[in-house]
Structure 1
Amino acid sequence: MQVPEATEAFLEFQQNLNYARQLVEGGRRLTQLKVGAFDVDDLYRAAWVQAVAALDHWVTGEIVARAVVLAQPGMTRPPKFSKLTIGIDLFDSVQHHQQPLTEAIRPHLEQFFGFMTFQNPEKIKEGLGYVSTVNLWPRVAKILNDQPDAEPITADVVRTRLREIAYRRNAIAHTADRDPETRSGRAAITADSADDVIDWLERIAAGILRALGPATSAPDYSQPPEDADDLGDVPVTTRTVLVRGRSLWDENSLLESINDYCTPEVADTLLAVYRHAETHPAFTGYYFGEGAHPSATAWFHMGNDEAAVWSIYTGADKSTLSINFQWMRDRGASPDRLERLAADLAVLPGWTGLPATLKEADYAKRPSLVQAALTAPSSKNIILDALGRFLIPNTVP
């Protein structure tokens, strides 16, 4: 499987797997030479252990690298990330001695995650949960199934195979791979079986990497898309709090801006969309922006991951609602699912050509509703019905 944006940790993982492959190849050659001074099969066992260790080491490195990025100010973090603890010495170094955050926190993260083991699928998902909200194994299974000529695979099959590989690794490392039911007293192993494990672990890791997405892709949820045009001056609200020169908005400032600066028709549509979110079972939370204008982005669970589905941006001259197709695509929403959402929204004023435009752009857009669409009496029901259909799980493969 191709990995378009292999991380540094993943490249090291592949190098470590190549060491394991060399052990297997060495065993094959010694078998051809009929070496009898030792059990050549032990080279295959060593390769098996090496491959599992490579996976364990890669997961640790991937978590640390992503956690360092997420520690930066302004990043949107998974809920579990916020449960990480730091010592007072680290806080003091950054706060009072101006030590760069990345320099100070990396050793702490390496120590924290270095004491964990990432061989069992449950432990892998638990560890990656600190840096991602993706529903890991269903997403990995989907990625594997989307490969050319792929044999159908399910999340439980992926987990079961990983457990079996880890169990065999433990048998080799801790009980010398003993099997009292065999004549030799050791479980059988072959070069081909070791090679299969190495290849399969590489394939699974590549699927995990694609499921996680780029480590540094942190969309700016505070900024409206380019096609939203000029929103005008910053609304004057009584709820603005200045933080390091930036506006930190909250629900009150957003609602004040909508009520004070939008026409009644536009306010009715925006407030209907806003209030609908928290009543939906897939809703996971709002993000209130830190840009120049008050904004809110609604996050929903889509089955395999959470995504920022829509955003409201307000200004003194106009306000808008953006449907975040790009962010949903980047979080695993299928083209079929996005295509249906676009078709449902295409009846809105100004969006007749939306399905074709989005498909041509591979859904890498965040289209914003024109004022005519926000003003039309039927718009709010069209939008809510479209979002409701989109957020129903398992309606589109």
Structure 2
Amino acid sequence: MFRKNMAYARNLSATAIALARQVTTAINTDDLLRASLVQGVSAFDHFIHEEVCARMILTQQGSHPMAKGYVRFRVSLDSVNQALAGSGVSWLESEIREQHGYLSFQNPDKVADALRLVTDASVWPAVGGHLNRKHEDLKRQLKLIVDRRNKIAHEADTDPTPPRTRYPIEEPMVRQSLDFLEQLAEAIIAVT
């Protein structure tokens, strides 16, 4: 699903480029680039949600190593009753989705917190080693991408100083951001 979501994000950028070549500058295609960046961050967030959920279920089934954080995951008594009634692992998936449904796994610290449920690896140093980059730089780059996404999603990407215009956005920045998010996801899979 991650690849499909990232492809959707890239298609938005490609549409912006193609459309910009065919119309006058009076028609601004920048909002397609903004949508592409928002979709890319959303795809990464969704990837973390799904990866953690799938691995927790595999852990419950005995097919994945049990992380220290896994045993600290709290479940409701309703879920305990469902588990005791022999409902397989559907109770766990419901519990994970209930608890994580309102959480955002975009901030590097929140990403690491979520992954601690399924791995004992020090996520960011391991990802940094895999990508041959300092993990602090990776975290900083992710924060910058997420901050820009937040400006788009929560502030209409508008500079608060007069004359209150939208911040500029260009396809190379969006493409590089999407590339980076894909590299992070691949590295997370490789090291955790």
Instruction: Please give the TM-score of this superposition, normalised by the length of structure 2.
Output: 0.93
Q: What's the offset of the Cα at 1:89?
A: 2.1
**Aligned twin of 1:141:** 128
Change (3 A) 1:103 1:198: same
Contact 2:55–2:64 under 8 Å retained in 1: no
For 1:206, give the aligned amino acid: E
2:78 counterpart of 1:98? no
- Give the counterpart of 1:34 among 4, 20, 23: 23
1:9-24 aligned within 5 A: 12-24=1-13
DSSP-derived class of the 1:186 partner? coil
Amino acid at match of 1:112: Q
Letter in 2 for 1:154: K
1:163 lines up with 2:143 in the alignment: yes
**Aligned equivalents of 1:74, 1:32: Cα separation in 2:** 51
Q: Specify the alignment match of 1:57 in structure 2.
A: 46
> Cα 1:205–1:76, aligned 2, differ >3 Å: closer, same or farther?
closer
1:54 CA displacement: 0.4
In structure 2, the partner of 1:240 is: none
Instruction: Tell me how far apart the structure 2 counterparts of residues 184 and 40 of structure 1 sit (CA, whole Å).
Output: 19
Is 1:127 the counterpart of 2:114? The answer is: yes
Distance in 1 (alpha carbons) for counterparts of 2:63 and 2:43:
33
Residues of 2 paired with 1:184 and 1:27: CA distance?
23
Q: Which runs of 5+ in 2 are unaligned?
A: none
Q: Which has the higher contact order (CA 8 A, sep 6+)?
A: 2
User: Residues 76 and 14 from structure 1, CA distance in 2 versus in 1: closer, same or farther, beyond 3 angstroms?
Assistant: closer
Paired amino acid for 1:193:
M
Q: Percent of pairs identical after alignment? A: 29
RMSD over aligned CA atoms reads: 1.9
Structure 1 gap ranges (5+) = 1-11, 146-152, 213-397
Amino acid at match of 1:134: A
Following superposition, the deviation at residue 139 of structure 1 comes to 0.7
Larger proportion of strand: 1
Counterpart AA for 1:203: Q
Q: 1:84 to 1:119 in 2, by over 3 A?
A: same
Q: How does 1:1-397 map to 2 (within 5 A)?
A: 12-35=1-24, 38-72=27-61, 76-95=65-84, 97-100=85-88, 102-145=89-132, 153-180=133-160, 185-212=165-192
Q: Secondary structure at the match of 2:158?
A: coil
What is the number of equivalent residue pairs in this alignment? 192
Instruction: Name the CA distance, whole Å, in 1 between partners of 2:96 and 2:166.
Output: 39
Structure number with greater Rg is: 1
Cα–Cα, structure 1 residues 45 and 211, in superposed 2: closer, same or farther, change >3 Å? Answer: same
Contact 1:44 1:189 in 2 (8 A): yes
Rounded Cα–Cα distance in structure 1 between residues aligned with 2:177 and 2:62: 40
Q: Evaluate the alpha carbon distance shift between residue 86 and residue 168 of structure 1 in structure 2; reply closer, same or farther with a 3 A threshold.
A: same
CA distance in 1, matches of 2:20, 2:39: 20
For the Cα contact (< 8 Å) 2:79–2:91, is it kept in 1? Answer: yes
Measured after TM superposition, the shift of residue 104 of structure 1 is 2.2
Equivalents in 1 of 2:32, 2:75: separation in Å?
42
Letter in 2 for 1:159: K
- Whether the aligned pair in 2 keeps the contact of 1:24 and 1:47 (CA below 8 Å) is yes
| SS of the residue 1:79 aligns to | coil
1:37 Cα offset (Å): 6.0
TM-score normalised over the length of structure 1: 0.46
Distance 2:149 2:2 in 1: 17
Hey, which of these two has a bigger chunk of helix by percent?
Answer: 2
Is the Cα–Cα contact under 8 Å of residues 20 and 28 in structure 2 kept in the other structure?
Answer: no
